[in-house]
Amino acid sequence: MSERYPHLKVDDPEVYDLIQRQAKQESTTLKMIASESYASIDVLEACGSIFTNKYCEGYPGARYYEGNEVTDALENLAIERGKTLFGCEHMNVQPYSGSPANAAVYRALLNPGDKVMGVPVSDGGHLTHGWKVSFSGKDYVQVPYRPNQETGRLNMDEVREIALRERPKMIWVGMSAYPFKLDYAAFAEIAQEVEAYLVADIAHINALIIAGVHPDPVPYCDVISSTSHKMLRGPRAGFIMSKVEDRYHAKYHENSKWNLAQLVDRGVFPTMQGGPHMHAVAAMATAFKFAQTEEFKNYGKQIVKNAQALCEELEALGRPIAGGGTETHLLLLDFRKNDFTGKDASQALAKCGIIANFNMVPGDTRSPSKTSGVRLGTPSLTSAGMKEGDMKKVAEWIDRVCANINNIDEVAPTIRAEIAEFCSGFKFPGIDE
Ligand SMILES: *Cc1c(COP(=O)(O)O)cnc(C)c1O
């Protein structure tokens, strides 16, 4: 590790030490934040490359700065790899992150004041899907839809009813805390019926789609946005896929000369962003290359197997899971019947070396700042090589933390040490190599 930053170590020991501390944290604890994983060493190297220097506003072959022969080749490589990986018609790799990607989608398709169907944050949706404190809820009108409060699942009849009543111009499908598969085909039927753009946000589940263990949105959606960090294990950045033709050109963009692909590109630059982050594009290209391998597909499959094994073990220990299980990478511990809150539990877990976050569960009666749930994800543990058998141990630690929540400071040092010892048996990508 120390050899990786020989200059920083000498020139800026403070930042160097903070990197070392973070590396230690990430290799001696169980990282169970559902949106995190470990970037590969190749991604870290590409991200730290001199491509951070270059300004290249515009797109390959049409830049506003000179000297972009190499960055053109790099961006085209990322785009070609991404298109092959997902089988999409068009890709834009310039968004700085997932939220700016989503902002670009709004700017590409809508006018301020238009109606957008999305899931509220308190029900597992993302800020950018029309939540009131975000630009998306201030500049656009959110028509909310949400999972059923009893089952935790989306009811497509209900989604259709809301769409028919409200006639949104765009429908978001894709969440941050939903443990079940999404039925893009059913969403597409509804979107077509009300003549709305269907936009998938696959930030959380892209690797599951690549691995074939989650339905594929590409045939069904006009636009698809994503992050490249989270389970894809790439740089902190975003990308957008789309069809080339705008099926609602006559209805919504009659006076525009742009097709859908061009609307998306213009939504990113010059509408939302200036110069792209080419070091992130370099890292995204290499993340896409790795994502095409069998090894990556096996990782995607193992993420779900691990999440399901963890669910079963927790339920066997008497810890209920919201919705009764998972079909993805995440699960929600349901503490509605306990005296302690989701926040109490997530803080106690963190003291013991299990890093997660508190989260609302379906039917939650506690406030969003306390909640009755903890969201747990398996991408990071899977990146480190953990399998179903390891989830049994993880479940036992989680159960012990919950059982000892009132005397957590007494038990924390022991559990913390056990977990650090357990972690020493694994190789953490980007840290132990
Ligand atoms: C994480 C996430 C985003 C945004 O990503 P940032 O890179 O944090 O801006 C967008 N949509 C969904 C569903 C997400 O989970």
Question: Tokens 């000369």 belong to which residue?
Answer: 257
What would the pLDDT profile of 86-137 be if each residue is shown by its tens digit?
Answer: 999 999 999 999 999 999 999 999 999 999 999 999 999 999 999 999 999 9
- Does residue 1 surpass a pLDDT of 90? no
- Does residue 271 surpass a pLDDT of 80? yes
Interval 135-155 mean pLDDT: 97
At residue 2 the predicted structure's pLDDT band, cuts being 50, 70 and 90, is very low
Q: Are strands 141-144 and 115-118 parallel, antiparallel or unpaired?
A: parallel
Nearest CA to ligand 1 atom 5: 98
H helices within 94-183, ranges in order? 98-109, 135-139, 156-166
Q: Active-site residue 220, yes or no?
A: no
H helices within 113-242, ranges in order? 135-139, 156-166, 184-194, 206-211
36, 37, 99, best to mutate for ligand 1 pocket (most atoms within 8 Å of CB): 99
- Count Cβ atoms below 10 Å from residue 60 Cβ, excluding itself: 17
- Count Cβ atoms below 10 Å from residue 71 Cβ, excluding itself: 20
Domains of the chain, CATH where assigned: 46-291 (3.40.640.10), 302-423 (3.90.1150.10)
- Tokens standing for 22? 């973070």
Interval 207-214 mean pLDDT: 98
Distance CA 98, CA 236 (A): 9
Nearest CA to ligand 1 atom 3: 98
172, 214, 226, 227, best to mutate for ligand 1 pocket (most atoms within 8 Å of CB): 227
Q: Active-site residue 230, yes or no?
A: yes
At residue 433 the predicted structure's pLDDT band, cuts being 50, 70 and 90, is confident
pLDDT at 30: 98
- Does residue 226 surpass a pLDDT of 50? yes
Decide: 201 in ligand 1 pocket, CB within 6 A: yes
Check residue 323 and give left, alpha or beta (phi > 0: left; psi -120 to 50: alpha).
left
Q: Are 430 and 19 in contact (CB under 8 A)?
A: no
Interval 365-391 mean pLDDT: 97
CA of 222 to the centre of ligand 1 (A): 19
36, 96, 129, 201, best to mutate for ligand 1 pocket (most atoms within 8 Å of CB): 201
Q: Are 372 and 366 in contact (CB under 8 A)?
A: yes
Q: Are 242 and 260 in contact (CB under 8 A)?
A: yes
Cβ neighbors of 109 (< 8 A, separation 6 or more) are 169, 170, 197, 199, 222, 223, 252, 263, 267
- Does residue 422 surpass a pLDDT of 70? yes
At residue 4 the predicted structure's pLDDT band, cuts being 50, 70 and 90, is confident
Q: Active-site residue 251, yes or no?
A: no
Interval 34-48 mean pLDDT: 97
CA of 203 to the centre of ligand 1 (A): 6
Nearest CA to ligand 1 atom 7: 98
* Secondary structure (3-state) at 353: coil
Distance CA 342, CA 359 (A): 7
- Give me the half-sphere count of Cα atoms (radius 13 Å) on the Cβ side of residue 430: 24
What would the pLDDT profile of 280-330 be if each residue is shown by its tens digit?
Answer: 999 999 999 999 999 999 999 999 999 999 999 999 999 999 999 999 999
Percent of the chain with pLDDT over 90: 99
- Does residue 246 surpass a pLDDT of 60? yes
Q: Are 101 and 240 in contact (CB under 8 A)?
A: yes
pLDDT, greater one: 433 or 354: 354
DSSP 270: I
